[in-house]
Structure 1
Amino acid sequence: MKIVITDRDTVTSGDLSLDSLERFGEVVSYGLTAPEQLIERIADADAVLCNKTQITAEVMDACPKLRYVGLFATGYNNIDVVHAAKKGITVCNAGEYSSDAVAQLTFAMLLELCTSLSRYSAYTASGGWVTSPVFSAFIHPQREIAGMTLGIVGCGSIGRRVARVAAAFGMKVLVYTRTPEKCPDMECVSFDELLSRSDAVTVHCPLTDATAGMFNAEAFGKMKQGAFFVNTSRGGVVNEPALREALDSGRLGGAALDVLAVEPMRADCPLLGAKNLIITPHVAWAPLETRQRLLGIVESNIEGWLKGEPRNVVS
């Protein structure tokens, strides 16, 4: 069996070996693959492993040997799964591999917004404390996280993990979800009620037609004055110009994003230079332990498919 990895560099920077995949057959690995290179590179592949590579109907039709697509990801909107099913191509994703890591960064961001930690570190590094007339230079705003109300949008594995951590911090938790039956022990409310009652809102829903741009000017206008906003899900759920306006006007007290509508970030991104904004380059899922777990799931999916017992099938 020939396996082609199309975008290795989105999974490892050299710290994670993918050599274990060679037990399944011949492996050809590319750091990245441009759209115009894809068909040529996978033309004789039995299986393709990818993260963000677009596997369209046209690509599938041009690759008659292709029988399996394995994703180094949970999301699969880059694969035409309907056409894959028609052609008998099995598509498998990686399920709940990053819940702990994403919850971890979510709270790192929320704690930064509440403590101004990096601002204080920069202040002392620049010699500010040396010249301070008082012993405690509380020059940047801080808030206690205990007692705050956290609104969680989306109650899948990550949303539930965030809720548990929030409870440990002494926060009150509100949830907006389309499947409240999966969260019987949580207070599920409408989207508008969540916005109006929450001191901080964190987003953990998939990007769909229903969620695209759901955080727009109207939504930000319904949030509490000075509330915090955190998004570690998908950039497309946020109207970025509207977020910029909410930050620059002081409507929001701060925001932290691990995702943008277009990635990598564009030079003309409307959020560049916004007030009280933290942006990280889509790294919530990327601790080494998390990617090791991801690789294990990808291998398990291949094993199941070869045995005629495919797992995590999305096609």
Structure 2
Amino acid sequence: MNIVFSDLDHADRDIERDILASAGFDAPMLACRSEQELIEQLTDADIALNQYAPFTRRVFEALPRLKLIVRYGVGVNNIDLEAATDAGVQVCNVPDYGTSEVADHALAMTLALTRKLVPMNRACHEGRWNYVEAIPLRRQSTQTVGLIGLGRIGRLYARKMGALGFSVIGYDAFYRPGGKDGTDYIESVELDSLYARADVVAVFCPLTEDTHHLVDKAALAAMKPGVFLVNTSRGGIIDEASLAEALASGHVAGAGLDTTEREPLEPDSPLWAQPRCLITPHMAWYSDDAAAELKRKVAEEAVRFASGEAVYWPVNRLA
């Protein structure tokens, strides 16, 4: 089988190359960015290791030889899963390489916001040494964090927040916490209740048609005045224009965003004008350890498939 890198922005691919070579494969590096480039350059590919390039129905129809896509990361929103399934293409991801890192990043953002570290650091650098500027500040054990999405990362964040003293509530359309897996400390609620009760709303759900702009103007208005919002999931889940308005009015006391709808965040985004919006460049997933694990697991999944073995992380179900 022929394996190719459809695209990759990492500094090197040494880990993948060594794993593939030890199994007898040599995968060329391509730099596809568009449908047309995929169609033109992957005609002989059986397996594609993919980061951002868009695999659409048009691409699948033009590449009948393609049998597997392994995506670098958890999300697969650049791949038309229905079209992949129709074309008989198995799609895999790596769902667990950065679980600790993303949960820790969300926790760090939560604490930075609720303790008002960023504005107070700025005030000190500007010569104002006065804790009164941070008021109001509340004890962690008096606050409730509400999670939208209770997958691997959400549950780990919930456990860590609970250990810090926060009460934890959560909403998930497909999962209910309970004693069986040790998550009975998470109170399962519906979204309207979560918005009404949470002092911190943290987003951990995937971006789908159903979750696009899930946190919109109405959702933000339903949240408690002074709420903090944290998103280390996907930017399109939050209506950024509405969030900027809610930050400007003070209804949302602060936001921590590691992902935005367009990345990098566009220069004219109204979020840049909001000093209480903490923004990081889609880095929550990263540590040296997580990056190495991601590379290894992508290559190993490709080798398993090419060797006729069952894949570990299928995203779509083939007949």
| Post-superposition offset of 1:29 | 1.4
Cα distance in structure 1, aligned partners of 2:200 and 2:169: 10
2:166 paired residue number? 171
1:147 is the counterpart of 2:142: yes
Show structure 1 runs of 4+ deviating over 6 A. none
CA RMSD of aligned residues (A): 2.2
1:273 paired residue number? 273
Decide whether aligned partners of structure 1 residues 55 and 302 sit closer, same or farther in structure 2, where only a CA change above 3 A counts: same
Normalised to the residue count of structure 2, the TM-score between the two structures is: 0.88
| Post-superposition offset of 1:302 | 1.8
1:156 is the counterpart of 2:151: yes
More displaced stretch, 13-22 vs 243-252: 13-22
2:64 paired residue number? 64
Unmatched runs of 5 consecutive residues or more in structure 1? none
1:106-145 to 2 correspondences below 5 Å: 106-125=106-125, 128=127, 137-141=131-135, 142-145=137-140
Decide whether aligned partners of structure 1 residues 16 and 244 sit closer, same or farther in structure 2, where only a CA change above 3 A counts: farther
| Post-superposition offset of 1:155 | 0.7
Tell me, yes or no, if the aligned pair for 2:20 and 2:303 is still in contact at 8 Å: no
Q: Percent identity?
A: 33
Provide the secondary structure at the position in 2 that maps to 1:233: coil
Cα distance in structure 1, aligned partners of 2:14 and 2:163: 32
Normalised to the residue count of structure 1, the TM-score between the two structures is: 0.89
Decide whether aligned partners of structure 1 residues 190 and 265 sit closer, same or farther in structure 2, where only a CA change above 3 A counts: same
**Higher RCO (CA-CA < 8 Å; seq separation 6+):** 2
Decide whether aligned partners of structure 1 residues 173 and 125 sit closer, same or farther in structure 2, where only a CA change above 3 A counts: same
Which of 15, 20, 30 is 2:18 aligned to?
20
Cα distance in structure 2, aligned partners of 1:244 and 1:107: 22
| Post-superposition offset of 1:296 | 2.6
1:304 paired residue number? 304
1:46 paired residue number? 46
Tell me, yes or no, if the aligned pair for 2:19 and 2:296 is still in contact at 8 Å: no
Tell me, yes or no, if the aligned pair for 1:95 and 1:312 is still in contact at 8 Å: yes
Return the letter of the residue paired with 2:18.
S
Provide the secondary structure at the position in 2 that maps to 1:181: coil
Cα distance in structure 2, aligned partners of 1:275 and 1:248: 9
Aligned length: 307
Provide the secondary structure at the position in 1 that maps to 2:39: helix
CA shift digits 1:166-195 (9 cap, x unpaired): 111011001111134344512111111111
Provide the secondary structure at the position in 1 that maps to 2:202: strand
Tell me, yes or no, if the aligned pair for 1:111 and 1:145 is still in contact at 8 Å: no
1:100 paired residue number? 100
Unmatched runs of 5 consecutive residues or more in structure 2? none
